[in-house]
Amino acid sequence: MLYESDNSIVASYSEIRLSGGMIPPFQLSPTEEKVVEARLTGVGMDVADDMRMNLADDHERKRVPLSFDMTSMVGFKIGSRTILSAVVKSYCDLDLDNLDDFYHPPRIISRICDSQAGFWFHSITTYRTF
């Protein structure tokens, strides 16, 4: 599988977009897992006072729920030919703790993840118009 360009990711808290970024293109075999780094930048928005208090309460309880949405263009290759492409939309709702310790990464307490894809075959969608 070839994850092509224009792969995006968005991080949200209670459906409010906090940051977004791009994931670089990469290849992945069907039996492989890969960690891919994405740099997210904040959107520079003001959050309502009640939402800020909810986030502060979650942080104080050391359990912050975040959502991550990713949209990717994926190509499936056999030999040198890409035979199938798909737009894959994935999301994960994560509860994180250990956000105060700069030297250790946050720990995932719970997660719910899912994805959906729209596939098409290149040989079917490639046609001539006259």
Classify residue 70: in a domain, yes or no. Answer: yes
Classify residue 130: in a domain, yes or no. Answer: no
Task: Tell me how many domains the chain contains.
Answer: 1
For the chain, give the mean pLDDT.
78
Classify residue 115: in a domain, yes or no. Answer: yes
The sign of the CA dihedral 87, 93, 99, 105 is: negative
Give the whole-number percent of the chain exceeding pLDDT 90: 2
Instruction: Show the domain range for 56.
Output: 2-125
pLDDT, mean of residues 42-50: 80
50-77 tens-digit pLDDT: 988 998 888 888 788 888 898 888 777 7
Classify residue 42: in a domain, yes or no. Answer: yes
pLDDT at 127 > cutoff 50: no
